[in-house]
Amino acid sequence: MKKLTILLFGTVFFALITGYIESVYADHDEGTGGIFHAMDEVAWEQRNIIGSFSCGWTNFEPEFCSKFQYQIHLQTIIRNGDGHLINVNESTSTAYIPHKKTDEIFDQVFPKKEIVTIDDIKYEKAQFSFTPDLEQRYVSLYPVYSEVGMIQIEFSDESVTKMHEKNKMYTNWKLHYCDDFGKEHGMQCVAIFFCLVPTVTLEPSDTVTQQWTILRAMN
């Protein structure tokens, strides 16, 4: 079991736990094909979030959609602490890391798939339901696959008090892959799949059920 030990004070916790790879990338594998390949945040968003927007669920031309290997749809269902429905949202403003590790995770996390055809393009379709707990929401870390065993996060007493008292806003949801990336990068969790959503404020007792639908184009 790998442990990420974090003493969280104020708003600095974000950088302490993830390295936040959306803004800075470096190579992990040899050569230029590493999972931390050099892209800044704007280039990554232009290539993935804007490019893959709504393919498979709206009327984009097949020639446009065929450029992107993955098409992603996320439905979020939010309920209060009493179980009453607050909000349902659906989004296709999504992104993914174009790397062989993404394929490996897709196969490992989603073993059951069905074949669907959309606009003459065949896809493997996988669905995944995930309800992040309060601790995961507090640090924006959602590990669904790990090469190093269970991920455990330790919080300071002050952080535990804050997470149970303070509301928090969310603008995106992610699915993370965690691994020990060696001497240079160390233990990190990488957002393999990413989805922008309308801003929502959650109370600590609220629950968020995520239904991810991910399509992978077949060669």
Between residues 66 and 16, which one has the greater pLDDT? 66
- Note the pLDDT of residue 59: 41
pLDDT tens-place string over residues 48-60:
433 333 443 334 4
Residue 184's pLDDT band (boundaries 50, 70, 90)? confident
pLDDT tens-place string over residues 111-126:
889 999 988 889 999 9
pLDDT tens-place string over residues 197-217:
999 999 999 999 999 999 999
| DSSP symbols for the chain | -EEEE----TTTHHHHHH--TTT-----SSTT--TT-S--HHHHIIIIIITTTTTTTS---HHHHTT-SEEEEEEEEEE-TT--EEEEEEE--EEE--SHHHHHHHHHH----EEEEETTEEEEEEEEEE---HHHHHHT--EEEESSS-EEEE--HHHHHHHTT--EEEEEEEEEEEEE-HHHH-EEEEEEEEEEEEEEEE-TT-EEEEEEEEEEE--
